[in-house]
Structure 1
Amino acid sequence: MAEHVGSGGAGGESLLFLTDEQIRKGIEAMYFAYRGFTADPDRILENYAYGRAHHRALHFVNRSPGTTVNNLLALLGVTKQSLNRVLRTLIDDGLVESRVGASDKRERNLFLTEAGAALEAEVSEAQRARVRAAYRAAGPDAVAGFRQVLEAMMEPELRTHYQAFKEGGA
């Protein structure tokens, strides 16, 4: 069964018909691209006995210094128990600092330490290099289209979080 997707083109509205086989190939491409996207960080994190959850926590604490544990829970979509285990390790290892909230003493605000910022930068630079090379190879139109596809696949509440980061806020 073919699906169609509206696509605005320079000459007006055009329709793109995709077969199930074409969609399957796109899904498989995402799986293999994800493996490549995570391979470099996985190799770096392995040296510290950390996993992808640690990387995601470092990434979002870096992007939003002072974020709360509850906000991080919403961004990562993990259980409180799982996040607490990750944060406890990062805090004990001196990569993340947890401070009591200024307005609400029950809140914990999270910040990267100097060591945490260094590890986050090392891991993220490996990903940025891979994405940068892929973007250069694909060209600006493909990059814009790729971003549109990714945004269209996001759950609405996550799109809201993404828009906040995209606009420079958190």
Structure 2
Amino acid sequence: MTDLKTGANPLFLREEELRQAIEMLYFAYRDFTSEADAMLEKYGFGRAHHRVIYFVGRHPMISVSDLLDILKITKQSLSRVLGQLVRDGFIVQHRGTADRRQRLLELTAKGVEIERQLTEAQRQRIANAYREAGGDAVQGFRAVLLGIMDAPERGRFARRDQP
């Protein structure tokens, strides 16, 4: 690995540029989540609730085990959050058809509405940033995000238009 402080780096990345990128990610994430956090607070929910709502919305009838795989949290943590979302009427659980022990998760109409509201502000923020940055920057940003992810997760984002 190239020593970032002293070695010749082919991307000419200096320590300060890397530190600034880390800082920018923190600020971007803070601002990206701010509107959603305010909405979640009204329900007594946190970011864990948001992640569950989002991924159940993106993958209707997702199994609990698949959701655990995406979120990389413990069963105990998911159980607490999921229990509250089920009790409050945002998510419904179905038994699997092949395996009756399997629990499949789906947003209720109430869940669909909160997911839409939570996602809209974030979707708009990303759309505005993409518009301002331009197509090449969007592709570069995608490549950087994929590079930051652990390799096993990258397959989730394989482009349909690529082999």
Q: Give the TM-score taking structure 2 as reference length.
A: 0.91
Aligned length: 155
Asked if residue 128 in structure 1 is aligned to residue 135 in structure 2, the reply is no
The CA RMSD over aligned residues, in Å, is 1.3
Residue aligning to 1:155: 150
Separation of aligned partners in 1, 2:23 and 2:35:
20
CA offset digits 1:43-84 (Å, max 9, x no partner): 111111111111110111111111000000010011110001
For residues 28-49 of structure 1, give each alpha carbon's deviation from its aligned partner in whole angstroms, at most 9, with x where no partner exists.
Answer: 0001000011101001111111
Query: Does the 8 Å contact 1:101/1:107 carry over to 2?
Result: yes
AA aligned to 2:16 is E
- 1:143 shift after superposition: 1.0
In percent, how many aligned pairs have the same letter?
Answer: 46
Among 96, 100, 107, the residue aligned to 1:105: 100
Greater strand content: 1
TM-score, length-scaled by structure 1:
0.87
Distance 1:97 1:162 in 2: 27
The alignment partner of 2:11 has SS state of strand
Identify if the C-alpha distance between structure 1 residues 85 and 76 changes in structure 2 by more than 3 Å, giving closer, same or farther: same
Alignment-derived partner of residue 28 in structure 2: 33
Structure 2 segments unaligned to the other structure (5+ residues): none
Gaps of 5+ in 1: 5-14
Deviations 1:85-125 (A, max 9, x none): 01000000010000000110110000000000000000000
**Following the alignment from structure 1 to structure 2, what is the Cα–Cα distance between the partners of residues 32 and 3?**
29
**Closer, same or farther: CA 135–109 of 1 in aligned 2, 3 Å:** same
1:77-88 counterparts in 2 under 5 A? 77-88=72-83
Mapped to 2, the partners of 1:88 and 1:162 lie a distance apart of: 29
Q: 1:129 to 1:24 in 2, by over 3 A?
A: same
